Amino acid sequence: MEAQVCCYFISLLVFLLQWVIPGISQVSWTPIYVDGNSQVDLWTQEAKGCRCPFDSSRQDCACCVRDGGCHCGRDSPNRCSQCGLEQHCSNMCNITIDSRNLVARSGKTFGQIKSPSLEGPGFCWYLLQPDTGQRVEIQVYRLVSVGRFNGSSCEGGFLQLVDGAEPRPRPGDSQICGSNERYAPPVVLFADRGSATLLFHIAESTLRSQFLAYFSFTPSSSVQGVGFQARGGRRIEHTECDWLYQDFSCREPGSCVLASPGYPGLYPPNRQCKYLIATSSIHTQVHIIFTALLLPYNHCGTDYIAIYQGSTPSSQLLTTLCANRKTQLQYSGPNLLLEFSSGPPVPPYDYNGFLASLEFVEKSLSTESSNVLPVKTTDPGVMMDGTSAPRHATSKAGCEVLYSGNDTRSGHFNSRSLSWKPSCSMTFLGRPTDIVHVSLFNYMLRAPSCQSVVEIYDGPAEEGVKPSKRICSPLTKHARDPSGRFLEQQTFVSSDNILMLVLRRLGPPTSSTESDTEFLNGAFLFHDEHVDGTLQPDTLCDVDYYGLSSPLEGQISNPGTQHLFWNIEGALRCSQRFIPAANQSVTITVSTLARLSPDPHCHTQCGDGGCHCVANLLPLSQMDHLLLVTDSGQAVSCLCGDFQQQWLPVSLRSWSPLKVVYSVAHYSWNMKGFVFKAAYTFNNDAACGHTTITHPAGEIISKNISSASMTLNYYFHQECIWLLDSKIERQLTVELATHQNRPCTAWNVSVHEYEENRSDGVGQLLHTFCPRDRSKEYSLPWKMNTVLLRLQAMTRTLPQYAIRWNSQIVRANTRVSGPTTSPGHNAGTSTVICAIWTCISIVLQTVVAK
Ligand SMILES: *[C@@H]1O[C@H](CO)[C@@H](O)[C@H](O)[C@H]1NC(C)=O
Ligand SMILES: *[C@@H]1O[C@H](CO)[C@@H](O)[C@H](O)[C@H]1NC(C)=O
Ligand SMILES: *[C@@H]1O[C@H](CO)[C@@H](O)[C@H](O)[C@H]1NC(C)=O
Ligand SMILES: *[C@@H]1O[C@H](CO)[C@@H](O)[C@H](O)[C@H]1NC(C)=O
Ligand SMILES: *[C@@H]1O[C@H](CO)[C@@H](O)[C@H](O)[C@H]1NC(C)=O
Ligand SMILES: *[C@@H]1O[C@H](CO)[C@@H](O)[C@H](O)[C@H]1NC(C)=O
Ligand SMILES: *[C@@H]1O[C@H](CO)[C@@H](O)[C@H](O)[C@H]1NC(C)=O
């Protein structure tokens, strides 16, 4: 026993030395220091020489430290202990230490735990109950026969600090073990969720297992490096150690602080803690300042900090930190993920993770980096007073900005980057065929009862013109909700090429802090309706191209690169619809497809019927894909997953409206979707359409379309309708013929009743002609004056066919048999039909022979 007393006294000295010489290590702990430095142990000044409390006639008892020491009593006359714990002098096992009691009895918030010499197997617990605003701190100095470390975990015994009052070990958390260890610096452990229990577990038979530790109820607010408290962040529920930090909670310097679990103590092993850092403005840069970093050396593969540009570890990796490379970093949002990874414990447990603070910096527009802004932007250097007055002298002095569609097509605006004036205006002036699309990300209007406003004008804000929308104070909008999700966009689209935003504020700002200033920010896009299609109302990115009014050819590409998409997160779907005019077809040729994620759940299969996405396990909407779809919702082609570049180009020529749907399952500004480029042409080929024919007899022969540029994956999509309509009572006969030996799914012609209530007129199906039928003749019921023929095709080979029809008009000499008789069986009429058919058949045979 005496030997040990000497030993822990030495370790006390060692630790004091560590404390007074900062910089030896970054691990910090609460100094535990009581009185003079020549004492026997923490609470015993001298082993002998003082009056015995149990027998006032004796003077040979221990002298206790005056401040907090109490005599152990008759059983241990030469020892003292901390007041409040004297009943545990001889056996410190299974005890509760309550912070308030301890302070009341000894005036101290710290003390010592010295376990009994336990004969293993055995078990002791120490319940530590902090007061509010306190964390439980344990400093372990000495282990004797407390298991051993086998390279990944403790075997045979351990010491562990667990949250809560249950003395139950948690195998996933830090356990400390060793057969004969002196720790200098000590192994420091913190618990931050109220009561915590120190467990001393010996699982094997030992002669004498023992540990020595100090404990402290440390104020969370302590400035000496031991009182860490996360600031500005939000713990994410149902996760072990994940946090969210948003810029608007961190406006003041030092208001956002994060650290590894248990900082500045040992962190738990085998963890992946994710700290999501989210900005709600496109102008904001995230400054991460690592004020402390101490991870085990040579364990960079398991113990590291990784920072990703995005909200998941599958995002682009920006940097990794390990060992003790303290640093400062600056990145742009909208999302950054700081991932702290820990591996197995590494004795002697002399590392403690990291401590960092976050600052969100409004970057000035002139220094914005180009790599985050794929679309060319320019500074609001051009300042104009409204639309007519002469220009202001300098850009810094004014609060009126003009964004010209000539200079920039997409960008962002921020009233904070302008000097303060009661009234600021932002004018977006596009080219003659432009419309202006504006999205408000954040604004703060503080004045009471609508004394500050944001006005949106669809056109110039001239005298007497009313704004199309007024946003009244007091009102604050952030781009995100408190859980970090982006809120729905608030967008405005002009009907012409000019849109104005006016911010009118009450009085000058009362305080100089930026966080109090009323402001407005967002993004804009000039959309050239002539080139980029007609933007559909209430959509972000759905456009229509009309064969009659759009250029006859052009290029399309993936949306999502413009600033307007900055606050989109999750599924992104944009459609570009092509509407050929009568007698027109449209050809869409996909020439580039890049960064299509190789999703194992989706395969593209190209065959004669087009390319199709074959999805397994997940619905198609959860996978990136490019879809070509008809107005009726029929998917005619789809590209996804493992689509190979060498299969490009994929072309589709269609005689009916077609939509190119660009779908990204998990879009974010940092992880934009895949890239595609396609060309479109409207062809005036009159090969297919909706035609009404009143001639009683006639023929339709398929057109031959030049196949000069047709590549492997060139497909035709046809849906041609001929309405054979005649007011005359007749018996109609239709003959179909082809020389193509193709499956019915490639193309076919169906004969339908006419259904006038339907827009396409397609009524009940009467017959289907498949190419393998070669030649077929259908006699339609007597007096069915109107029938509809529909050709459907989706194939690589343009259908070739001949359609002939003939009407047998009732003659006087057949009236006898009357309309009640089925004319097909009437000998008199069939002569006439046959007469006409003979000539048709000759023509048909010539065609088929070709
Ligand atoms: C301490 O308490 C636990 C139960 O909570 C018991 O299993 C153990 O034996 C006790 N230790 C000693 C040394 O009495
Ligand atoms: C160490 O001990 C753990 C738990 O007993 C065991 O799962 C692991 O395999 C051991 N590792 C080695 C290297 O022996
Ligand atoms: C854009 O450029 C054209 C031609 O150079 C010019 O006529 C027009 O005024 C410019 N528009 C703006 C808004 O600067
Ligand atoms: C379509 O083409 C046909 C024949 O080429 C022509 O008779 C018809 O007028 C055209 N229709 C339109 C709407 O241009
Ligand atoms: C269609 O045109 C191509 C070339 O333009 C020609 O080779 C082919 O024979 C033509 N087919 C018919 C049926 O006219
Ligand atoms: C067509 O619509 C009209 C009016 O809506 C209705 O009276 C008629 O029964 C419909 N015809 C058929 C065949 O559904
Ligand atoms: C007719 O052709 C279309 C287009 O290729 C196809 O979708 C449809 O299944 C075919 N109909 C039959 C009965 O095969």
- pLDDT value of position 527: 94
Nearest CA to ligand 7 atom 11: 745
Atom number, ligand 4, closest to the C-alpha of residue 582? 13
User: Residue 147 and residue 180: Cα distance in Å, rounded?
Assistant: 10
Ligand 5 centroid–CA 742 distance in Å is 18
Average pLDDT for residues 130-147, to the nearest whole number?
A: 93
Average pLDDT for residues 582-604, to the nearest whole number?
A: 86
Q: Which CATH class is domain 233-362?
A: mainly beta
Chain mean position to CA 387: 40
Q: Return the residue matching tokens 């307007």.
A: 564
Backbone angles phi, psi at 99, to 5 degrees: -55, -45
CATH of 553-684, one of 2.60.120, 1.10.10, 2.60.40, 3.50.4: 2.60.120
By CB neighbour count within 10 A (0-12 exposed, 13-18 middle, 19+ buried), where does 432 fall? Answer: exposed
Closest CA to 568 of 230, 374, 311: 311
Average pLDDT for residues 76-97, to the nearest whole number?
A: 89
User: Residue 829 and residue 832: Cα distance in Å, rounded?
Assistant: 5
SS3 93: coil
Question: Cα dihedral sign for 46, 47, 52, 58?
Answer: negative
Confidence at 825, pLDDT banded by 50, 70, 90: very low
Which ligand number lies closest to the CA of residue 753? 6
- pLDDT value of position 707: 61
User: Residue 301 and residue 303: Cα distance in Å, rounded?
Assistant: 6
Residue 769 pairs in a beta bridge with: 749
Backbone angles phi, psi at 100, to 5 degrees: -65, -45
User: Residue 769 and residue 776: Cα distance in Å, rounded?
Assistant: 7
User: Residue 427 and residue 455: Cα distance in Å, rounded?
Assistant: 12
Q: Which residues, judged by CB distance below 6 Å to any ligand atom, belong to the binding site of ligand 7?
A: 744-748, 768, 792-794
* Residue 650: both structure tokens together: 């994929």
Q: Indicate if ligand 4 lies below 6 Å from the C-beta of 583.
A: yes
Atom number, ligand 1, closest to the C-alpha of residue 91? 13
Q: Which of 685, 704, 844 to mutate to test the pocket of ligand 5 (most atoms within 8 A of CB)?
A: 704
- pLDDT value of position 811: 55
Atom number, ligand 5, closest to the C-alpha of residue 850? 13
Ligand 1 centroid–CA 167 distance in Å is 10
Nearest CA to ligand 5 atom 14: 704
Say yes or no to pLDDT of 742 above 50.
yes
Say yes or no to pLDDT of 498 above 70.
yes
Ligand 3 centroid–CA 406 distance in Å is 6
Ligand 6 centroid–CA 788 distance in Å is 18
Which DSSP state fits 802?
E
Do 233-362 and 553-684 agree at the fold level? yes
User: Residue 439 and residue 493: Cα distance in Å, rounded?
Assistant: 9
SS3 23: coil
Ligand 4 centroid–CA 583 distance in Å is 6
SS3 420: coil
**326-335, 337-346, 435-444, 749-758: which has the minimum mean pLDDT?**
326-335
Nearest CA to ligand 5 atom 12: 704
Rg (CA), the chain: 41
Nearest CA to ligand 3 atom 2: 406
Which helix (H) or strand (E) element contains residue 7? helix 2-20
- pLDDT value of position 729: 78
Which DSSP state fits 176?
B
Which ligand number lies closest to the CA of residue 91? 1
Ligand 3 centroid–CA 429 distance in Å is 9
Which ligand number lies closest to the CA of residue 407? 3
Which ligand number lies closest to the CA of residue 406? 3
Say yes or no to pLDDT of 18 above 60.
no
Looking at domain 690-703+710-827, does it have CATH number 1.20.1630.10?
no
- pLDDT value of position 324: 80
Domain boundaries, the chain: 91-224, 233-362, 395-531, 553-684, 690-703+710-827
Say yes or no to pLDDT of 12 above 70.
no
Closest CA to 580 of 536, 550, 610, 555: 550
CB atoms within 10 A of CB 723: 18
Which DSSP state fits 837?
H
- pLDDT value of position 828: 35
Which ligand number lies closest to the CA of residue 773? 7
Confidence at 146, pLDDT banded by 50, 70, 90: very high
Identity at 163, one-letter amino acid code: D
By CB neighbour count within 10 A (0-12 exposed, 13-18 middle, 19+ buried), where does 703 fall? Answer: exposed
By CB neighbour count within 10 A (0-12 exposed, 13-18 middle, 19+ buried), where does 103 fall? Answer: middle
Say yes or no to pLDDT of 841 above 60.
no
- pLDDT value of position 689: 86
Nearest CA to ligand 2 atom 2: 153
- pLDDT value of position 42: 81
Q: Would you list the DSSP string of 553-575?
A: EEEEE----SGGGTT--EEEEEE
Taking only the tens place, the pLDDT of each residue in 546-580 is 999 999 999 999 999 999 999 898 899 999 999 99
Q: Which residues, judged by CB distance below 6 Å to any ligand atom, belong to the binding site of ligand 3?
A: 404, 406, 429
Residue 348, preceding peptide bond in cis (omega within 30° of 0): yes
Say yes or no to pLDDT of 160 above 90.
yes
Average pLDDT for residues 192-211, to the nearest whole number?
A: 94
Say yes or no to pLDDT of 303 above 90.
yes
User: Residue 165 and residue 97: Cα distance in Å, rounded?
Assistant: 11
* Residue 290: both structure tokens together: 């690592």
Taking only the tens place, the pLDDT of each residue in 260-275 is 998 889 999 999 999 9
* Residue 670: both structure tokens together: 């940092």
Q: What strands lie across the sheet with 243-246, from one edge to the other?
A: 233-235, 243-246, 272-278, 335-341, 304-309, 316-321
User: Residue 368 and residue 335: Cα distance in Å, rounded?
Assistant: 17
187 CB contacts (<8 Å, ≥6 apart)?
Answer: 139, 140, 176, 266, 348, 349, 350
Which ligand number lies closest to the CA of residue 761? 6
Pairing of strands 690-693, 713-725: parallel
* Domain 91-224 fold: Jelly Rolls (2.60.120)
Ligand 2 centroid–CA 258 distance in Å is 33
Mind spelling out the 3-state secondary structure of 181-235? Answer: EEEEEEEEEEECCCCEEEEEEECCCCCCEEEEEEEEEEECCCCCCCCCCCECEEE
Nearest CA to ligand 7 atom 8: 745
SS3 2: helix
Say yes or no to pLDDT of 407 above 90.
no
SS3 823: helix
Ligand 4 centroid–CA 690 distance in Å is 11
User: Residue 113 and residue 552: Cα distance in Å, rounded?
Assistant: 86
**8-12, 613-617, 624-628, 726-730: which has the minimum mean pLDDT?**
8-12
Confidence at 819, pLDDT banded by 50, 70, 90: very low
Ligand 1 centroid–CA 291 distance in Å is 42
Is residue 697 within 8 Å of residue 805, measured between CB atoms? yes
Q: Return mean pLDDT, the chain.
A: 83
CB atoms within 10 A of CB 618: 13
Ligand 3 centroid–CA 430 distance in Å is 9
Taking only the tens place, the pLDDT of each residue in 63-75 is 888 888 898 888 8
Atom number, ligand 1, closest to the C-alpha of residue 125? 1
Average pLDDT for residues 94-117, to the nearest whole number?
A: 92
Taking only the tens place, the pLDDT of each residue in 685-724 is 888 888 899 888 899 999 887 765 667 788 999 999 999 9
- pLDDT value of position 393: 25
Confidence at 237, pLDDT banded by 50, 70, 90: confident
- The CATH code belonging to domain 395-531 is 2.60.120.290
Average pLDDT for residues 386-402, to the nearest whole number?
A: 47
CB atoms within 10 A of CB 96: 13
Average pLDDT for residues 217-238, to the nearest whole number?
A: 83
Q: Indicate if ligand 4 lies below 6 Å from the C-beta of 548.
A: no
Ligand 2 centroid–CA 424 distance in Å is 68
Say yes or no to pLDDT of 204 above 90.
yes
Is residue 445 within 8 Å of residue 473, measured between CB atoms? yes
SS3 150: coil
Q: What is the CA angle 53-54-55, rounded to 5?
A: 95
- pLDDT value of position 336: 92
